[in-house]
Chain A
Amino acid sequence: MQNRTRWLAWVFLAPAMILVGILMYYPMVGTALESLYSTSFINPNPQFVGLALYERIFSSGEFGTIVWNSCVWTVFVVFFQNVFGFVVALLLNRRLPTSGLMRSLVLLPWILPGVVAAILWRFMYDPQLGLINSFLLRLGLADQGYAWLAESSTAMAAAIAAAVWKGFPFSTVVYLAALQNVDKEQIEAAFVDGAGPVRRLIHVIIPAMKEVIVINLVITTILTFNYFDMIWVLTRGGPQNATHIFPTKIYELGFGQFRFGEAATYGVFSILVLAILITLYFFFQSSGRRRNGAAA
């Protein structure tokens, strides 16, 4: 009987394991191998070049730009998405006549298909027809439409704002659920001790939610680092690489220019970055569980 269930366990697991193995782990190795071969549109037959592509990419200024853009993009999107998400969660956690309705509405941007959200924001930012410039013109804050996505100085900030709008609901929902798990008696006790709302937040609520916050930070970092749709539809990495991040650069090199080797070299770097983040995630998760286990 025991043997039979053990055997069955592997039958149940097999399809998931095989798919993930063939379509995720094998391609990771494949990307590393691919980065040792050079191809291009003119010369489509792969040619073994060793680490030459790494040298070429390191010595080009572009690599630094992509790393910098990816950092700026990830740090700002994650920061604003989580801060805004948390504040909104606090706001919707209050008992107000509109709270129930708002809790349903808040997820709307997150459900909206990514490409649709990006097209919508591209239109919002349009210098002539966009809503944002129209408001600025009406209010007299600008005398002509500004091309937010076409100027290197504002394109990244504009993309970040759109991504935060699309992504904060996810953080809000996770934080709302966590807020409801914070021990009510602890909050009450702090209240009786004369702690104001800010002190209750800093000394009771945030410490109680620490693990959820850390795990959510790591998850949103991973998702944001991998986020392709928004930037690709808004700017395609332009103007002049100003918004190119790892995923968009890899796609452009691979499927735009058929430089599979160079695309794979960028791929290897992003896999390394992600490997570090994933290790962090599992570390925080298991340390959180251990502490919970000790408390129980």
Chain B
Amino acid sequence: MVGTRLRFETTHTTEFVDITDRLRAEVRRAGMRMGRLHLQSLHTTLGLAVNENEPLLLRDFQGLLERIAPEGAGYEHDDFARRLNIAADEPINGHAHCRQLLLTGFATVLVEDGDLVLGTWQSVFAVELDGPRHRQLALQLDGEFAESSLSPFRGEGQGEGRGSSAESSLSPFRGEGQGEGRGSSGSATLVELELARQLLIDPEAVAVPMRRLVEAGGKRVRPKLVQLTAGIGPRSEPLRAAALAAAVELLHNATLIHDDYVDESTHRRGQPTVAAAEGPERAVAVGDYYFAKATRLIAEIGNRDVTLTIAEALEAICAAQIDDVALRGAFPGDHDSYLRVVRGKTAALFAAACASGALFSEAGPEVVGALRRYGDLVGVAFQMADDMVDFSPDSGKPVGLDIRHRVLSLPLIYASEDRAVGPEVRRLLAGSLGDAEVGRVADLVISSNALERVREEAQALVETAVHELESIELDGLRPILISLARSAVDRTA
């Protein structure tokens, strides 16, 4: 959901302001494809109407309002002697309030194919009843958005995507801590602000390397899941939800710092890893610091279920990381081992992000459970897509990095099981892996049907995840969660 304000000046006492084109522009700007545009007057003498923009008809409407609630007809509201707390410039406008009662202060317009659903002669009007004045309407756009507007999976490794110009145009409430829309860039900006704030107050020795990692990019999928699911239950606290989301992102990054040391990775998100740039001792300390800080920030939120959910996920991550390293002796492993490791290393925090947001919002246990399963399935599918990216020349990264580092990878497992290429893949993986061997293994994987099998499996998981959402009330969030799940798989970077 995206929230914004429409501001305008009126020039007459009574005026029908046609706002149709401006609403269309807001829909386009938000990249909304399908859903609902909600409007709400923020004034008691400004109404809303949907009708024909024909000047004589508008004069008829004005005449009707004037006949039903004529000016100066002895409104008690205008008897200032009987009212309390009258402002010096209090207008005599009982008639305008009564006229507004005849209109409406709220309206919803459907959106399809990126445009308002209006009949040929229908226009949307803000109806000024006590002008001229400065006026504003609250707008919320709720529904499906174009991939470029909503997908959290763009810009990985490029340091873009978060707070980019395209995204920031969606909401004017960035950084104000209000008007928060679910799935809006405003939510994402809150997380970025919280991350920046937390990194500002930490000792430089730990903050500098973490800042480098955080500012280098990342998809921010986990905080997005926290924020989305934090909007489901009856308790809505966007600022505290952003604090929880930022803590989850810090925790994720802390695990990456230790992972990079263990994997002997030299770069992440285009930047040198902490271990490579500043040595393993610093990497251990920075990882520990942000592990502790993130768990503290989560504890400070004061919801035991949330704390426990994240702690259990962290434990699953660590256990899976141990399994992952142990399995490297039997590289490339098998499907069951792969799933066990991926469920822990990746899916556990996805599931915990979904569950913790829902728990934070005090959603019911069936909703929490369904979202936890959704997160788990999307997390596994996300990792499978990540594995496929390693074989994509469009990813922006050298092809075959996972092969070189002997990282558990489902395409490699499937290729090694392939009747045609399997024997050669297994033979190559059993030996030392130089550039030629890595390139050959990558070619063999691409030439087999391994990538297609992985893609189909990931898509099936996503559809199962989507199915999990069908039985629960999500208060309009379903399209965003579906879009997010599908974009987890449909990506090349």
Q: Do A and B come from one complex?
A: no
Residues of B within 8 A of A (CB): none
Residues of A within 8 A of B (CB): none
